[in-house]
Amino acid sequence: MSGPGSGTPDSGFQDRLNRMQERRAPIEAARPHVDVLPDWKENIRYPATLVGMAVLGMFAVFVVRYVRFHLMGGTLAGNDADITMFIDAALAGVAAFIIYSAVGLTMRDANRAERGSMLSLNNLGDNPVKAALVVGIAIMIGTMHNMVHSAPGLFGALFSEEWTEDVVTYSEPGSIYFRGNYFTVLPQSEETVAGETAPAGSAGSGGGDAGEKKALPSVLRL
C-alpha cells in the first residue's frame, strides 16, 4: 500500500517545523523570564525600606534631642510645648536628611522618588517612604520618655542623671506625649496608680525640695 516515496510529505512537514523553531528561537531567547512567584528578597525589600525609614526618623529625633540637650546646658524644656514639639520635628527632618545623604541611601528602588525631596511634605500620601520617615519622627517625639523609663541608666549616662530623674518623675510610662499631655495607653502598675491617688502633701513629706517641683503634666487615660 505504501510506496518508497510515502515518507516524503512527512519529512517536508517536519522540515518546515524545524525552520519555524529556528526563526522563533532568537525571539524566545530575548523574551524576559517572569517567575510566577517573585524572589523573596524582592518581596521583603520594599517593606524593609519603609521600616528602615521609620527607624531613621526615630534615630533623628534622638540625635536632635541629644545635641539640643547639651547645647542648651542640660535641658530640653521650652516655654511652650507646641513650639518645642515643632522644633524637634523640624530639626529631626533636617537631621534625617543629613544622615540619609551621608550614608548614601537612595529611594529609587523603593518608590522612584528623586533624591533630595525628603524635606518636602508635598504629596505625602503618594510617597510611602517619606510618610514612613514622618511616622518615625512622630512616634519618637511622643514616646521617647517611655524609653527613659525602660533604660534610665543608659539615658542617665547619655544625657544626665538629673534629667533622667525628672523625666521618670514627671512623665507616665506606657503613654503618648502630645501638646503637654500624657495619654496613657498601657495598663499601669499598682504602684503608679497608688502614687497618683496619694495626697499631694504626702509626696512632699520627704524634703523641702519636693514642694518646689513643678506640677505634673495632665494625664489622660484612654
Angle between the 81-103 and 128-150 helix axes, to the nearest 10 degrees? 120
Helix (H) or strand (E) holding 131: helix 128-150
Helix (H) or strand (E) holding 174: none
Is the residue at 33 inside a domain? no
Is the residue at 31 inside a domain? no
Please state the domain count of the chain: 1
Give the pLDDT confidence of 155-197 residue by residue, as tens digits: 999 999 999 999 999 888 889 998 888 888 876 655 555 555 5
In this prediction the pTM is 0.64
Is the residue at 89 inside a domain? yes
Is the residue at 127 inside a domain? yes
Is the residue at 49 inside a domain? yes
The domain of 153 spans 40-172
DSSP 204: T
Low-confidence ranges of the chain (pLDDT < 70): 1-10, 33-38, 40, 104-126, 187-222
The three-state secondary structure class of 112 is coil
Is the residue at 35 inside a domain? no
Is the residue at 20 inside a domain? no
Q: Would you state the pLDDT for residue 21?
A: 82
Helix (H) or strand (E) holding 22: helix 8-30
Is the residue at 30 inside a domain? no
- Taking a C-beta distance cutoff of 8 angstroms, is the pair 195, 170 a contact? no
Q: Would you state the pLDDT for residue 135?
A: 94
Could you tell me which residues come within 8 angstroms of residue 44 by beta carbon, excluding any fewer than 6 positions away?
Answer: none
Q: Would you state the pLDDT for residue 16?
A: 82
